[in-house]
Amino acid sequence: MTKKPISPETYIQLVAAQRAEITEYHIYTKLAHQTRDLENKKVLNQIASDELKHYKLWEAYTKKEVSPNRWEVYKYFWISKIFGLTFGLKLMEKGEEKAQTNYSLFATEVPEALMVAEDENQHEKELLGLIQEEHLKYMGSIVLGLNDALVEILGTLAGLTFALQNTRLVALAGIITGIAGALSMSSSEYLSNRAEDKHDLAIKSAVFTGIAYVIAVIFLVAPYLIFTSPFVALIAALFDSILVVFLFTYYISVANDQPFRKRFLEMVILSSVVGLISFGLGYIVRVLFHIDV
């Protein structure tokens, strides 16, 4: 069927949409080829087929073949491989949401644009039930380990910084406290799941909790092994804690469709307040007991 002529502005938008569709087609196809789970592979191939259909629809208007954005293909492929399929696809969805707004702008000239927008909305529902990634089942355990480490270790480091004023001693104390804390949190998580008859989750929950705790400890203690000034190290540790919270909260907000700003502020404020209190306690202890290291 011959398509009606379109305006130059709409033509430019259609070519951009065409490139986006063929790019996403290659992303989904590449991910489907690499996925071992048969159900995931089936859905990925179905979505890839839809993207190709949309590309062909735009091509009927533009009369032009468009190459995919190779950088986008490799970017989202490796993001999905490194950080998980759910995170990679949800991150890509955000770009699809922006594209839907453009479809509504030229729907008067291209009636099929509304149909494509509706298809894109269906992608989100499909993707929500697409992947059952194991690490996403243990996000509660990861949050527990990470949050406890940020609050406990940052507070310990802040208190010891003023009490001892020696980066090596503070680092040593932080490492010892961190190892003990990781083992304590892991065992508590294990026993908690066992008590709730979640025997199949107990060991892995404990492992994820411990790993998250250790990662946070590494970020927080590292400045004390790099800088000679304990107060510079403390400031760096504080920035490290904010960085860890930012990265993890962003990951959770994308993968689980949760609000980013609220969770980020909660964790930052909590760890900062505890750090300030501990810093003050360290000062009091140093003055009362006349500690001079």
Residue 221: is its pLDDT beyond 90? Answer: yes
Query: What is the distance between the alpha carbons of residues 252 and 139, in angstroms, rounded to a whole number?
Result: 8
Tokens of 7: 């305006």
Residue 80: is its pLDDT beyond 80? Answer: yes
Half-sphere exposure for 246 (CA within 13 Å, toward CB): 6
Dmax (CA) of the chain:
90
246-286 residue pLDDT tens = 888 888 777 777 777 877 787 777 766 766 676 666 667 66
157-205 residue pLDDT tens = 877 887 778 899 989 988 998 899 889 888 888 888 788 777 777 888 8
Residue 3: is its pLDDT beyond 70? Answer: no
120-156 residue pLDDT tens = 776 666 665 666 666 666 777 777 777 778 777 877 8
- Give the per-residue pLDDT at 96: 60
**How much is the mean pLDDT over the chain?**
79
- The average pLDDT across 60-68 equals 88
Residue 72: is its pLDDT beyond 70? Answer: yes
- Give the per-residue pLDDT at 236: 92
- Give the per-residue pLDDT at 134: 63
- The average pLDDT across 106-112 equals 75
- Give the per-residue pLDDT at 74: 92
User: Which helix H or strand E contains 50, and what residues bound it?
Assistant: helix 38-62
Query: What is the distance between the alpha carbons of residues 225 and 45, in angstroms, rounded to a whole number?
Result: 49
Torsion angles phi and psi, residue 6, rounded to 5: -120, 160
Higher pLDDT, 192 or 101: 192
Residue 84: is its pLDDT beyond 90? Answer: no
Query: What is the distance between the alpha carbons of residues 44 and 130, in angstroms, rounded to a whole number?
Result: 8
CB 13 within 8 A of CB 60: no
Higher pLDDT, 24 or 263: 24
Tokens of 60: 């009927």
- Give the per-residue pLDDT at 111: 77
